[in-house]
Structure 1
Amino acid sequence: MTKQILVLLGHPDCRPERFGSALASAYVEAARAAGHEVRRIDLADLDTPFLGGQWEFESPPPPPIQAVQQDILWAQHIVVLFPLWLGATPAKLKALLEQVFRAGFGMAESPRGPVPQLKGRSARLVVTMGMPAIAFWLMFGAHGLLALEKGILGLAGLSPIRKSVIGGVEAIGGQGRLKWLARMRRLGTLGI
């Protein structure tokens, strides 16, 4: 079964020689070869202003952000790849998410709390980091990943949300990187 897949490379530097870009490209190429429809957004190509306050969060976003929203609405599966910076997503990725999820997109408000607006979509989060993955999970509780998983995508109704954590990215060497690229190609082929 083919899917409509949106791949968001959430690294502010999307040059092809960057490992995150290679991971995104491996996923996209394999997904397309398997017959999936794929759209790719590179964070570095977007002009993403920071929100100035609640008044701005409650108003509709500018047209480039609305285009990202339309890609999300189109997608059945969303892949977000990003590096862990200071324990969380890069500031520019967080700014994009704040822009995208403004004015009720993804979560409508009701007297009982947020009402998910993106049910029926799944996601995969792919995070790269310098620390070993086991330290990220055990010592830090994966909080930088959980904020995106539970606090944004989960509240919007995406499920299931799968995670791929690539730890020690500088230490894994060429063979480790090749294994991760092969894994991303498998995931792209399957559309998960």
Structure 2
Amino acid sequence: MRRIDVATMAFPLLRSKLDFYSGKVPESLHQAQDDIQWADHVLLIYPLWLGDLPALTKGFLEQVLRPGFAFQSNDGGTSWRRQLGGRSIRVVVTMGLPALIYRWFYGAHSVRSLRRNILSFCGFGPIRTTLVGQVESLDDMRRIRWIMRLSEWGRAGR
């Protein structure tokens, strides 16, 4: 297992389309790309902030999942080849509100966008999601059960 702790990393945010397509990936993120390339299964955990990914997490994905690494443009940009196929991923989102409300009332829009517009575009699959609601009110026993469940899924690569 390898761990990437995005919150402790220093990297610039992308500011233009030119940076995304032609800029260099910061040196501080090369190891993260190596770790993703190495992995058969990825676990992405983030808290729901203002209904979406934290900005730093989104910035990390924008920097790391660049053309040439995560996908390749063919025929002058008219078609794309996914570069990260063969890797499963589980996305775990923690939140203060009940997960059922986020899924049914809000449509789990950040998870749907992440799955469709980023992860599947790069070739990840299968993509599984887990929503952990009301995390502030979980007692110790329920927290332990979640940690054990996530550990088991990680070992099984699902």
TM-score scaled to structure 1, two decimals? 0.76
Q: Matches of residues 70-149 of structure 1 in structure 2 within 5 Å?
A: 70-111=34-75, 112-149=78-115
Change in CA separation of 1:76 and 1:189 when aligned onto 2, cut-off 3 Å: closer
Corresponding residue for residue 54 of structure 1 = 17
Distance (whole Å) between structure 1 residues aligned to residue 35 and residue 154 of structure 2: 18
Deviation of residue 137 (structure 1)? 0.8
Secondary structure, counterpart of 2:45 in structure 1 = strand
The question of whether the paired residues in 1 share the 8 Å contact of 2:43 and 2:154 is answered with no
> Could you list the runs of 4 or more consecutive aligned residues of structure 1 that deviate by over 3 angstroms after TM superposition?
none
Amino acid at match of 2:129: K
Corresponding residue for residue 27 of structure 1 = none
Corresponding residue for residue 41 of structure 1 = 4
Unaligned runs of 5+ in 1: 1-37
Superposed CA deviations along residues 74-130 of structure 1, whole A, max 9, x for unmatched, are 111111010010111100000000101223321112344332111111101111001
Superposed CA deviations along residues 125-167 of structure 1, whole A, max 9, x for unmatched, are 1110011010111011111111221111110111101111101
Corresponding residue for residue 9 of structure 1 = none
Amino acid at match of 2:11: T
Secondary structure, counterpart of 1:124 in structure 2 = strand
Amino acid at match of 1:60: K
> Which structure has the higher relative contact order (CA within 8 Å, separation 6+)?
1
Secondary structure, counterpart of 1:55 in structure 2 = helix
RMSD of aligned C-alpha atoms? 1.4
